[in-house]
Amino acid sequence: MYKQAGHSLEMHRIVKQFGSVIANDQIDFAVKAGEIHALLGENGAGKSTMMCMLSGVYRPTSGDIVLNGRKVHIRSPKDAMELGIGMVFQNFRLVQTLTAAENIVLGEKTSFWRGPRWMKQKQQEIETIARHFGLTFPVDRPIWQLSVGEQQRVEIVKTLYRGASIIILDEPTSVLTPGEADQLFRTLIRMKEEGKTVIITTHKLKEVMAVSDRISVMRKGKLTHTMDKTDTNERELAQLMVGKTVSEARHLPERPQGKPLLTVEQVDVYADHGRKALDNFYLQVMEGEIVGVAGVAGNGQKELAEMLSGLRSWKRGKVYFDGKELKNGSVRGAIEAGISHVPENRMKSGLAGSLGIVDNLLFKSYRTKERSKYGLLRTAGNRVWSEELVAQFDVKTPSLDTPVRHLSGGNQQKLLFAREVHQNPRLMVAVHPTQGLDVGATEGVHQLLTDLRNRGRSVLLISEDLDEVMLLSDRILIIYNGRIIGEMRRNEADRDRIGMLMAGLQEAEEETG
């Protein structure tokens, strides 16, 4: 019999091979019943591959999976769910045009044909589960109208609704504010108290120490360490993950304040759902500074980034860049002005997953004389150029022709930065630039942004990770309900005060004062 004392899930000698690449190499992994188990590792270490085998997305090349002492074969996500294993992926698997409730019941044999009364009953069941675990969201609203945090709640409730006893969450706090993350932790603890087993993959060491019971560390496809939380600390975990000490602070040398580079005046921008996302919005960014924009998801950050990069037009107001009026809704105008953009969702609007390295690097420079001649791409020269960028930014890829969707999240982000930084931008608009990245990759991105700033370039850093904003920014702006409601210099930033402003509490105080 396989089962070890107290273990509800075990993986024995698991190997997963993709062609000549071994993603998981003789993995032995065990999770106790009713615990929160954190799985750490650099991007590409094999964590997601391991979890995808548990959730039925991949099948092991060799090895055994044991559930409650019984060897099982998980051939599909349906098999996994029938065994009580549910996974919440970092990139949510939701149908945007369906409501939250419809997404949750999707796949049931009686899903939609029973009519409105049946659906109303299901909505009530879903609302009961959501309230019980502190995961409320509007069940009758289409997914595309929900914030990222609300969409994650839908995914978690979906696994609970379908009866999962083992719940896997991939980077669950990567898009959450500190307050939302705290609420998620309370939910995970509630799940644990009710006997559910939770496995989380994450790169945020403070959160691992706050919520997990045990921790496993992976490196280069192997599981190297498993320990109780009480037997380790953040510094040791970081060293085990990346094999070196990582810096805890970043020095930003003082620079004389430059002239205004970007000025946004009295701008109104509307979101996809038709409501005003930016309301009489004002913003100014000086040359040679990092301006951090902190806020809860859904307060206009997405629309601000899209407006500046030409992906979304504004209805009123003016935008000036280096003293000249910026073209409204023009991607090419933004590129020619010197604005680079690292979007929130790198695979949705940053990279083309089915194309290779060279094509993705060419997206913004194929018109230049260095990359093409007489309308024809310089194929040989572009491959050499791509190899140089891949080496410079340490992008790990089997070849230049590998579809970028096959790269790890960290290497996708490095590739995206390689393209955008190579443009030598005067302003980098970076949205959640380290979302889903491990400690080492995060440090590399932070260094890239800092180097831009130290070269006299500007960065507009839009992030829901308050620690990141406070670490990197010369100035911090707090956005709420489509407006900037607070500003602090780096040396006067107060975490509690910023958190209150992010929640809109300042406005409430002013109204009652």
Domain end marker among 181, 208, 241: 241
Which of 73, 56, 55, 76 is CA-nearest to residue 64?
73
Q: Give the count of domains, the chain.
A: 2
- pTM, to two decimals: 0.64
Q: What is the pLDDT of residues 490-502, one digit of tens each?
A: 888 887 788 778 7
Position 207 pLDDT exceeds 90: no
Task: Specify if 237 maps to a domain.
Answer: yes
Maximum average pLDDT range among 2-6, 144-148, 204-208 = 144-148
| Rounded mean pLDDT, 284-288 | 96
| Rounded mean pLDDT, 212-229 | 90
Which of 458, 468, 464, 457 is CA-nearest to residue 479?
464
- Rounded CA separation 438/44 (Å): 10
Same domain? 207 vs 297: no
Of the listed ranges 103-107, 109-113, 169-173, the one predicted with least confidence:
109-113
Task: Specify if 255 maps to a domain.
Answer: no
Same domain? 237 vs 289: no
Predicted confidence band of residue 242 (pLDDT cuts 50, 70, 90): low
Predicted confidence band of residue 504 (pLDDT cuts 50, 70, 90): confident
Find out whether 308 and 262 touch, Cβ atoms under 8 Å: yes
- Rounded CA separation 32/196 (Å): 10
pLDDT, residue 28, reads 94
Position 297 pLDDT exceeds 90: no
| Rounded mean pLDDT, 232-254 | 69
Predicted confidence band of residue 319 (pLDDT cuts 50, 70, 90): very high
Predicted confidence band of residue 1 (pLDDT cuts 50, 70, 90): very low
Q: Which sign, positive or negative, has the C-alpha torsion 135, 136, 137, 139?
A: positive
Same domain? 317 vs 466: yes
More confident residue, 119 or 296: 119
Same domain? 175 vs 306: no
Of the listed ranges 171-175, 193-197, 325-329, the one predicted with least confidence:
171-175
- Rounded CA separation 269/315 (Å): 6
| Rounded mean pLDDT, 397-405 | 91
pLDDT, residue 178, reads 66
Q: What is the pLDDT of residues 404-459, one digit of tens each?
A: 988 877 788 889 999 999 988 999 999 988 876 767 777 888 889 999 999 999 99
- Rounded CA separation 34/157 (Å): 18
Percentage of residues in the chain having pLDDT higher than 70: 91
Find out whether 300 and 482 touch, Cβ atoms under 8 Å: yes
DSSP codes of every residue in 106-160: TT-TTTTTT-HHHHHHHHHHHHHHHHHTT----TTSBGGGS-HHHHHHHHHHHHH
Task: Specify if 315 maps to a domain.
Answer: yes
Predicted confidence band of residue 510 (pLDDT cuts 50, 70, 90): very low
| Rounded mean pLDDT, 186-202 | 90
Same domain? 216 vs 276: no
Q: What is the pLDDT of residues 328-371, one digit of tens each?
A: 999 999 999 999 999 988 888 889 999 999 999 999 999 899 99
pLDDT, residue 266, reads 95
Which of 341, 398, 387 is CA-nearest to residue 364?
341
Q: What residue type is 85 in one-letter code?
A: I
List the end-to-end C-alpha distance of the chain, in Å, as a whole number: 68
Tell me whether residue 75 is exposed, middle or buried, using C-beta atoms within 10 angstroms of its C-beta: 0 to 12, 13 to 18, 19 or more: exposed
pLDDT, residue 2, reads 46
Domain end marker among 241, 274, 298: 241
Structure tokens at 316: 């009123």
Output phi, psi for 241, to 5 deg.
-70, -50
pLDDT, residue 315, reads 94
Position 250 pLDDT exceeds 80: no
| Rounded mean pLDDT, 293-312 | 89
Dump strand ranges (E) for 322-407.
Answer: 324-325, 339-342, 372-373, 376-377
SS3 511: helix
Same domain? 237 vs 269: no
Position 511 pLDDT exceeds 50: no
> In CATH, what number is assigned to the domain containing residue 499?
3.40.50.300
Predicted confidence band of residue 248 (pLDDT cuts 50, 70, 90): low
Of the listed ranges 52-66, 81-95, 260-274, the one predicted with least confidence:
81-95
- Rounded CA separation 243/43 (Å): 13
Distances (CA, A) of 13 to 4, 16, 34, 61, 263: 15, 10, 24, 10, 58
Which of 216, 144, 214, 156 is CA-nearest to residue 180?
156
Dihedral of CA atoms 497, 500, 502, 503 in degrees, nearest 10, equals 180
> Nearest-5° angle of CA 152, CA 153, CA 158?
100
Task: Specify if 208 maps to a domain.
Answer: yes
Q: What is the distance, to the nearest Å, from the Cα of residue 325 to the centroid of all Cα atoms in its chain? A: 33
pLDDT, residue 43, reads 66
- Rounded CA separation 268/395 (Å): 39
Task: Specify if 250 maps to a domain.
Answer: no
Of the listed ranges 164-168, 170-174, 217-221, 311-315, the one predicted with least confidence:
170-174
DSSP codes of every residue in 469-488: HHHH-SEEEEEETTEEEEEE
Task: Specify if 513 maps to a domain.
Answer: no
Same domain? 313 vs 277: yes
pLDDT, residue 205, reads 77
pLDDT, residue 20, reads 77
Tell me which DSSP letter residue 205 carries: H
More confident residue, 243 or 234: 234
Structure tokens at 308: 């500046």
Task: Specify if 60 maps to a domain.
Answer: yes
Same domain? 352 vs 498: yes
SS3 165: coil
Same domain? 180 vs 301: no
pLDDT, residue 441, reads 75
pLDDT, residue 506, reads 60
Q: Which residues contact 191 (CB under 8 A, 6 or more apart)?
A: 133, 160, 167, 198
Q: Rounded mean pLDDT of the chain?
A: 86
> Nearest-5° angle of CA 287, CA 292, CA 295?
150
pLDDT, residue 270, reads 93
- Rounded CA separation 39/197 (Å): 13
Position 177 pLDDT exceeds 80: no
Predicted confidence band of residue 508 (pLDDT cuts 50, 70, 90): very low
Task: Specify if 100 maps to a domain.
Answer: yes
Q: What is the pLDDT of residues 255-273, one digit of tens each?
A: 777 899 999 999 999 988 7
Same domain? 303 vs 229: no
Domain end marker among 181, 211, 241: 241
DSSP codes of every residue in 216-255: EEEETTEEEEEEEGGG--HHHHHHHHHSS---S-------
Same domain? 194 vs 330: no
Which of 444, 41, 29 is CA-nearest to residue 239?
41
Structure tokens at 67: 């559930």
Same domain? 232 vs 287: no
Q: Which residue range is the domain that position 48 belongs to?
A: 7-241
Distances (CA, A) of 63 to 57, 219, 485: 16, 19, 55
Which of 177, 175, 213 is CA-nearest to residue 196?
213
Find tokens 């089915």 and name the residue: 354
